Chains A and B, each alone.
Chain A
Amino acid sequence: MFRATLARRLLTVLLACALPALALAENGKPLRIGITLHPYYSYVSNIVGDKAEVVPLIPAGFNPHAYEPRAEDIKRIGTLDVIVLNGVGHDDFADRMIAASEKPNIATIESNSNVPLLAATGVAARGAGKVVNPHTFLSISASIAQVNNIARELGKLDPDNAKYYSQNARAYAKRLRKLRAEALAQVTEAPGAEFRVATIHAAYDYLVREFGLEVTAVVEPAHGIEPSPSQLKKTIDQLKALDVKVIFSEMDFPSAYVETIQRESGVKIYPLTHISYGDYSKEKYEVEMKRNLDTVVRAIKESQA
């Protein structure tokens, strides 16, 4: 068993050494970089500028939570040089696609490899306590950490442009930091411990942590699954018992039961987006994160009014 592990490790090391050479085999051609989720399209586009091409693995319009790989999407992997992964649970479909593609050993970048991760909350936490919350892209800090990481790894694959990538990454990080600073500047008085927050989808822990807040309860049993009437009643009782002040709901999944919760519990609901829908664009992450930050700020301010 030990020998098998050793052999596997050796193979991994050898592959890791060989991969950069493979990626640059087509010298002179700009890198074609695959991405799995919308925020990563924005990150990578901002890092590489016009020096590389960013290719989404999933065409726009598909829901990454319910995506089943299609033949043409798997085929496209054969044309890529490297794939940037979330890697902590939001794009597990990518592994199967890569394994089935013409390039099963394509280089991958683990964006979250040095990001401090949070444990999964709610139902997703079942799984021997090793399951992490994969929504690191919903925090400015964790996004900057990922952008720096991606830029560093891309620089290793494409040393000629390494400096350019890291400069772009830092400029992008600066813009992201500004977004957060502008939002926080509107909060004149920090929310106290009595400002309790619940979310519909267990995605926003990283986001509210930027404000020093913690998610007290998660309503949805699993992503996109509506609670049953008895679960709903339990949730409403729980929200009342915990004295929750604000619920952050899902902008992309408007649901009738969310209104029921608002009506029955009297807790105010604010919609957030987790940036997984619509067209891929360079600006998307900044635009949607600004909206998220503004929504959280509005929730804090209105609770203080």
Chain B
Amino acid sequence: MSRVQVVRPAGAGHETLYVLLVSLLILALAAGIVALRGERHDEVSFEAHQLDARRDLNAAEQGVYADLRVAFDEIQARREEEPQLLAVEVLAEEGFPPFVADASAASRGQHQWQLLPQQAYLGLSQASTVAGSFLLLVPQAHDGAADVWLQRSPSASVPAELSQAALIAAGWQQIAAHYDAGVPRQHRH
């Protein structure tokens, strides 16, 4: 006793239409989501008087710059105890690169460091083809950020004035560093 089931031919025409419609809907949805939630490609822009610490500095300059930032941390920490800036000799004695004269300093331009009266450390390069001269401006506040300038001209000398305009006029360039998180994490920043 079997019941006869009538199977009608599928409406192939309709099916195709539905599939097309659904795929269009999916595409539209996806496009909408991408448009709404897509990440903008933030390019860090530098000003004309700035150098990118990552791409515009050579190996020797990158080394000196990284060391200067570390020494700056210590200089700032000491200011909490004593407002006077640490002397170059003290920094060298305590082994703070780039102030200490070692093999690394020798291969990075042998900078001659001095503490300027206007709260700044100046390192004049003895080999400007290897690395430029550095200027570290120490902010008034002891929790401020380091401001480092570079001059590649062999005739770099003690700047008369430390204002931004005066430094730019004298041929100094400000070093700018920016932070890029690991690739899969960049959307969080």
Contact = CB atoms under 8 A, between A and B. Distances in A.
Interface stretch (A138-146, A240-248, A280-288): A138-146
A4 B106 CA distance: 52
A184 B54 contact: no
Nearest to A188: B103
Nearest to A136: B66
A87 B102 contact: no
Contacts of B40: 1, 5
Given A112-B179, A113-B179, A130-B186, A184 B104 contact: yes
Given A173-B70, A190-B103, A211-B107, 6 more contacts: A116-B62, A132-B180, A177-B97, A212-B60, A212-B63, A212-B107
B69 A87 contact: no
A173 B36 CA distance: 46
Given A116-B65, A187-B103, A92 B53 contact: no
A142 B62 CA distance: 11
Interface of B: 36-37, 40, 53-55, 58-60, 62-63, 65-67, 69-70, 73-74, 77, 94-97, 100, 102-104, 106-108, 130, 177, 179-186, 188
B100 A92 contact: no
Given A170-B77, A190-B106, A139 B66 contact: yes
Contacts of B181: 87-88, 110
Given A189-B103, A191-B107, A211-B104, A117 B180 contact: yes
Contacts of A118: 54, 62
A32 interface: no
A294 interface: no
B106 A89 contact: no
Contacts of B185: 87, 92, 95
A148 B179 contact: no
A56 interface: no
Contacts, number: 122
Contacts of B104: 184, 190, 210-212
B63 A210 contact: yes
A23 interface: no
Interface of A: 1, 4-5, 86-92, 95, 110, 112-119, 127, 130-132, 134, 139, 141-142, 144-145, 148, 166, 170, 173-174, 177-178, 180-181, 184-185, 187-192, 208-214
A114 B60 CA distance: 19
A204 to B, nearest CB: 12
B71 to A, nearest CB: 9
Given A132-B54, A185-B102, A117 B179 contact: yes
A177 B103 contact: no
Label chain A's interface by main secondary structure.
Answer: loop
Contact of B55 (A86, A88, A119): A119
Nearest to B42: A130
13 contacts: A4-B36, A87-B185, A88-B182, A115-B66, A116-B177, A127-B183, A131-B183, A132-B54, A141-B70, A184-B103, A212-B59, A212-B63, A212-B104
Contacts of A141: 63, 66-67, 70, 97
B77 A166 contact: yes
Given A4-B37, A145-B73, A213 B54 contact: no
A1 B38 CA distance: 9
B84 to A, nearest CB: 18
Nearest to B186: A130
Contacts of A192: 107
Nearest to B145: A114
B69 to A, nearest CB: 6
A177 B67 CA distance: 11
B50 to A, nearest CB: 14
- Please give me the 6 A-B residue pairs with the lowest Cβ-Cβ distance, nearest first: A212-B107, A89-B182, A214-B59, A187-B103, A190-B107, A190-B106
A181 B182 contact: no
Nearest to B62: A209
Contact of A87 (B54, B100, B182): B182
Nearest to A133: B54
B154 to A, nearest CB: 18
A177 B95 CA distance: 7
A140 to B, nearest CB: 9
A187 to B, nearest CB: 4
